[in-house]
Structures are given as structure tokens and as C-alpha cells.
Amino acid sequence: MNRTGASREARRLKEAIAFWCLRVAVGLVAASLFGILLFLFIQGAGAISWEFLTEAPRDSMTRGGIFPAIIGTLCLTLGAMLVALPLGVCAAIYLSEYARPGKVLTLVRLGIQNLAGVPSVVFGLFGLALFVVFFGFGVSILAGSLTLGLLILPTVIGAAEEALRQVPDTFREASLALGATKWQTVRKVILPAALPGILTGSILGLGRAAGETAPIMFTAATFYTLHLPDSVLDEVMALPYHVFVLATAGTHIEQTRPLQYGTVLVLIALVLGLNLAAIIIRTRLRRQKKW
């Protein structure tokens, strides 16, 4: 009956063994994630306190809190969003509503896909050469936000395009049949319907921007500053960079371990919180979808 000549039982057994191998592989991946999270939570929870979250570092970084780093990361992340959201949504509208298959579309797709694959440290170099040096912004929130914004642009485009494509064609046809122009259709029908999906995508972009270190190392981040930023041309402390510096470059690496764990925990809570929120919103949306 079958080519291998093995009995039905043997084939079933082989299948069972193979499936268990797959389960072990997946279990390994999931276990490493939860192991890491659990470990960092247990180690970091002790360091978290109201003072840790609201005070500046003291005694050459060995005590005190990370408030300036939290504020810095919020500034950079929101700045990146201000860059990426309008550009990303408009590019997604082009891709889903206006583009026709052809050379231009292939070029645009090629551009987006390769932009997504550019290493983050290369974005850092680019930001340094263009924004910091060429435009003369210096090491600043502005330069860092622009760099991060371009970095997350492909993420935002991808998510927004998916959201736009999920709006059924009947919506477009109904609007056009009423005599609306394409622009009116986009603005009054398609965008409102796709808005929740676009928001989900932008939350994912926020999470990505908040966790990146390499792009801001040469463009925005500083190890230590006494004052909070009061203009977009100030350099700032940032959570990921703070972790890196405390863990590798300080003179009191062992002494600041609790601070390092605490900072890592705050960073993870921020990044994973944003991602988890996006995942939950997306699941809800899929269930509630009315069309």
C-alpha cells in the first residue's frame, strides 16, 4: 500500500515522535522568553520604588533614580511617532488605494522592504551624518527622533497598509457611487474605518522606538545630564542607553546591579506593555469586526 512499506502503527509512531520534537522546540522558545521575563521581574522588582521612578541619579550614578531617562525615552519615542505616523499612513494610503502594479510600485516596495532591513547601527551612522553633522542639529532629541522615526517607518507603513486593506471594497464603491472623489472617499470613509488598525500599528512602532539603543547612541543619548530637556535641541538620557552604560562602562558595575535590573524592568514594562496592548486591541478588533 505505501511506498516505505512501514506498517500503519510505525507511521503513526513516527508522527507522534516528530510532533513531540516540534513541541519541545516551541517549548524551548517559549520557556526562554518566560524564563528571561520572570528572572528580570524577580531581580528588578526590589529596585522599583517611587523614588527610583521620580528622582535623578545621585552619587556618580550609584544611587537615586532614573526619572530623566524615562522622560528622555518618552520624548524620543513621541518625537519618532510624530515623524513616522503621518508619513507612514500616507505611504500606506498610496500603497493600498492609489498604487497600480508596475515599475513604480515595485520600486516603492523594494525601498520599504530594504529600509526595514537596514541595521539599526547603520541608521545611527546615517542620523549622525545627516541630522547631527550635516543639518547641524547636534546630539539632540530632534536628531534622535528623526532617526528613530525613519527606523520605524516600515513598521508603521506595514501595519497601516494591512488595516486599510481590511476595509471592504463595498465601502469604496458605495462612496464613489455617491459621487465622492477618491480623496473624499479616503478621508471620510476609508480612514475612519481603518483607524483602529492604524492605531494598533502605531503602538507597535512606539514599542520598537522605545527599545532601540544603537540609533540614539550617536544622535540623541547622553550618559548623564543634570537637567531635564527644555528644548528639542537638548541631548537626553534614555532608558536603553542607560542600561547599556550602567552595565558596561561604569566604574561601579557590580555596585549598580540593582539599578541596572530596575532600569531593565522599567524598559521591559514599557516596551512589552505597548506590544501587549497592541496585541490585545488587535485580537478584540478581529473578534468585533462588523464586516
Binding residues for other proteins restricted to 165-224, rule: CB under 8 A = 170-171, 174, 178-184, 186, 188-189, 192-193, 204, 207-208, 210-214, 217-218
Where in 2-31 is the site for other proteins (CB under 8 A)?
2, 11-12, 14-15, 18-19, 21-23, 25-26, 28-30
Distance CA 133, CA 139 (A): 9
Choose, by CB under 8 A, the member of 71, 78, 176, 247 that binds other proteins: 247
Helix or strand or coil: residue 58? Answer: strand
Question: Binding to other proteins by residue 38, rule CB under 8 A?
Answer: no
**What is the size of the binding site for other proteins (CB under 8 A)?**
103
Distance CA 29, CA 252 (A): 34
The piece of 49-57, 62-70, 121-129, 229-237 that touches other proteins (CB under 8 A) is: 121-129
In SS3 terms, 244-272 reads as HHHHHCCCCCCCCHHHHHHHHHHHHHHHH
Choose, by CB under 8 A, the member of 76, 85, 148, 157 that binds other proteins: 157
Question: Binding to other proteins by residue 45, rule CB under 8 A?
Answer: no
Minimum CB separation from other proteins for residue 50, in Å?
23
User: How buried is residue 218: exposed, middle or buried, by Cβ count under 10 Å (0-12/13-18/19+)?
Assistant: buried
**Closest C-alpha to 81, from 141, 4, 131:** 141
**Closest C-alpha to 123, from 232, 242, 217:** 217
Q: Nearer to other proteins by C-beta: 50 or 248?
A: 248
Site map 66..105 versus other proteins, x via CB under 8 A:
---------------------x--xx-xxx-xxx----x-
Q: Nearer to other proteins by C-beta: 82 or 118?
A: 118
Choose, by CB under 8 A, the member of 74, 125, 269, 281 that binds other proteins: 125
Choose, by CB under 8 A, the member of 54, 82, 118, 224 that binds other proteins: 118
**Closest C-alpha to 199, from 277, 106, 99:** 277
Q: Nearer to other proteins by C-beta: 75 or 93?
A: 93
Minimum CB separation from other proteins for residue 256, in Å?
12
Amino acid identity for residue 97 in this structure: E
- List C-alpha distances in Å: 105 to 118, 172, 285: 20, 21, 29
Helix or strand or coil: residue 59? Answer: coil
